[in-house]
Each structure stands twice: as structure tokens, then as C-alpha cells.
Amino acid sequence: MQISRSNFNGLGKVSSIFIYASDASMHVQRLVQGAAAYARVQTPRLRVVWGSQMVDREGLAQNDIQGIIFFALRAGEHDLLQAYGLPAVNVSTRNLPTTFASVIPDDHAIGHMAAQHFKSNQYRNFAFVGVKSHRYSLLRGNAFAESVFPAECQILWLSETNDMVRSNQEISDFLTSLPTPVGILAANDRFARRICECAVELGIQVPEQIAVLGVDAEQMVSLASPVQLSSVDIDSFKIGYKAMEILHDLIKDPAIPPRQMVLLQGEFWWQPPPIIWQPKTC
């Protein structure tokens, strides 16, 4: 297992926290930065060990892992994590495990506030694009649709496929079916970028005909988009910081109920251009 380490200078006893994330998006990087920021000011010190594959028992022993923060478990990894018997905190709403503590954004609030933004800017047509199997996407889409009611919200649940040609055709067909101008909430910035790419290919003007709002404030995704993205900033740094704080408490007191859930919530603010929405988290 290849790992990356932070907050280690060789002085005194070090306890390690393993952060497992299968991708290296800016969202995940900010999570790790937040966790490391908490770890580096603790006494006794904590060391952050990061990996894109789940740590095995040998890795647990070699790195003196005392707890685990995880993002989006793969199939079978939930049972493996339970078998380790270590304190663990989830930081993803892709699939929400009920047997571990969680620090997650308020996906319902994201959908609601996005709807309020479009409505306040006099939009009368609304749409959402996401993947139904991802819990965060389902919650954001449903909350958005509920919040624009009695107006109708057109929803595109993309097919579960790795065939990008097919998936992009679904987006293109959906865009051409929409009345304009229309406010579209995408489940995250990656979907928002693909919407913009398809719109440009179709000759649809952004934001004049379709206004697109993503989630996660992924700067690199925005740079790769043909149109600068507007996005909901869920403050990944604070999610990582809070997750590390809760995990530290669980390590110090194993009697704390592990099924607690902490939702990061707050008000959104708007700053053009681009549109930046940021919940003030606890």
C-alpha cells in the first residue's frame, strides 16, 4: 500500500489516523487538509496517513493506525472496516453507512438554497441532472424539485454506465427538450462541466439560455469547462477538520455511541462572478 503522510517530524510519540479516499479531487484534498490542520495542533501529536486503497492489517500495524476517516467505500469494504474494530468516521453522502459516525454536508439545504437562488433571479423553468444511485445526488435533486414547486422541475437521472458517449447523448437530448431560459442544478461540478460541454456543442448559450450551478467548488473542474462554473462550496476543509475532531474523541473515549451523525449546515452567500455559495459550517 502506498501512502502519503503529513504532520510528522520524528519528535515524541505519534498516533496515526488513516484517511481513505479513492480519488484525489480537490474536494478530497481539502478534506485531508482540514484533517491535517486539526491533527498538527494536538498533544499528543497525531499523524495523517492518506491512501487511495483501503489499508490492510499489515498497514494498520506498520503505521500504528488508531482510527480511520473514509470517503465512499467500495463493495465489501464496509464489512472489512467493521472487522478492524477501529473508531471510524464517514465523510461522504454517496452511500451513507449507519454503523459509523458521519460528518457530511446538508444535501437537502444545498438543493433548497440553489432553488431559492434561481427563483430570486426570476427563473421560471428548472432542471436537475444527477445519478439516482448516489445518495447525495438523490437528496439534492429531490430537495431542489420540492423547493421550486409549484413550478415543475425536469429531472434527468443519468444511466449507470461508463459509456461517456451514451451518457453525454442523454444530457444533450435532455438539454434540447428544456424550455429556456432555465436554471439547472447539477449534482456536482463534474456533472455541471459535462452539461456545459454538451450545451456548447449544441450551440446553446450559457448562461443566457441555461444557467448551470454545480456543487463542490472544484477549481480544476471549472478550469476544464468551456464555461466558468458556478458552484456550491460545501467547505470540505471544515468537514475534514470536524471529522478528525470527532474521530479523536472516539479514540479517547470508545464508549461514545458510534452511530452519531453531524450535519454541517449554514447560510449560503452569493458573490458574482462566478456564483459561489458557501454554507457557514459548525
Q: What is the pLDDT of residue 264?
A: 54
Which residue from 193, 124, 133 is spatially nearest to 153, judged by alpha carbons? Answer: 124
R_g (Cα) of the chain, nearest Å:
20
Residue 252 · residue 270 · CB < 8 Å: no
| pLDDT tens sequence across 177-227 | 999 999 999 999 999 999 999 999 999 999 999 999 999 888 889 889 999
Q: Please give the CATH superfamily to which domain 4-105+235-265 belongs.
A: Response regulator (3.40.50.2300)
CA distance 207 to 183: 9
Contact between residue 216 and residue 262 where contact means Cβ atoms under 8 Å apart: no
* % of residues, the chain, pLDDT over 90: 47
pLDDT confidence bin for 260, thresholds 50/70/90: low
Name the superfamily (CATH) of residues 107-232: Response regulator (3.40.50.2300)
Domain range list for the chain: 4-105+235-265, 107-232
User: Cα 36 vs. chain centroid, distance in angstroms?
Assistant: 18
The reply to whether domains 4-105+235-265 and 107-232 share a CATH topology is yes
Note the pLDDT tens digit of each residue in 117-136.
Answer: 999 999 999 999 999 989 99
pLDDT at 53 over 90: no
